[in-house]
Amino acid sequence: MERTYIMVKPDGVQRGLVGEIIKRFEAKGFKLVALKLTAPGKAHLEKHYADLKEKKFFPGLIQYMTSGPVVAMVWAGKGVVKSGRVLLGETNPLASLPGTIRGDFAIDIGRNICHGSDSVESAEHEIALWFPEGVQAFDRAVDAWIYE
Ligand code: GDP
Ligand code: MG
């Protein structure tokens, strides 16, 4: 089953939006297979955002991401990478439609409360980075009511 890495960023944790974000993925039918509150530090976040290291906003991004704990999660399900990005909304919250997480709860691009992997390949890379201990495999009886 496809998996994606979803993270509540420090501002989302501080603003008490962890439950709200989890709720939307749960309600959709996706399966939570890993979850932790963690504050891993600069080197780890620089690895996570390695593809952005030439950007002007990179130092500010790393400062933001290390300003408090994050909630790291792995969600599984059919099409979860793309669908997860739809649930999150656009990178710029002001361009995100109401009904999306960023559209409903954020304003600035540099305080957009959540992260979601942008491809199946980067999802697997991010899952390995954030959950080297591995994730939980389990069957859900309810899947027969979610998948045809
Ligand atoms: P995402 O995949 O939608 O999170 O967007 P990107 O991978 O392009 O960027 C990663 C994160 O960097 C975004 O979620 C923002 O928090 C931040 N970011 C991206 N573009 C900008 C920008 O132009 N300015 C600032 N301040 N932050 C940015
Ligand atoms: Mg990205």
The tens digit of pLDDT for each residue in 53-104 reads 999 999 999 999 999 999 999 999 999 999 999 999 999 999 999 999 999 9
**Residue 57 Cβ < 6 Å to ligand 1:** yes
The predicted model gives 14-19 an average pLDDT of 98
Residue 142 CA to ligand 2 center (angstroms) comes to 31
Distant-in-sequence, close-in-space partners of 77: CB < 8 Å, separation ≥ 6: 1, 2, 28, 29, 30, 31, 83
The predicted model gives 26-40 an average pLDDT of 98
pLDDT of residue 1: 93
C-alpha distances in angstroms, 133 versus 130, 141, 144?
9, 26, 29
Domain extent listing, the chain: 3-135
- Integer Cα distance of 12 and 31 in angstroms: 21
- Integer Cα distance of 8 and 70 in angstroms: 6
Residue 29 CA to ligand 1 center (angstroms) comes to 27
* Binding-site annotation, residues for ATP: 9, 57, 85, 91, 102, 112
Q: Are strands 114-116 and 31-38 parallel, antiparallel or unpaired?
A: unpaired
The residues assigned a catalytic role are 115
Side by side, the strands of the sheet bearing 3-8 are: 31-38, 70-76, 3-8, 114-116
- Integer Cα distance of 92 and 110 in angstroms: 8
What's this model's pTM, rounded to 2 decimal places?
Answer: 0.98
Model ipTM over 0.85: yes
Q: What kind and span of H or E run contains 71?
A: strand 70-76
Q: Which two tokens stand for residue 15?
A: 């603003």
Q: pLDDT band for position 48 (50/70/90)?
A: very high
Assigned CATH for 3-135: 3.30.70.141
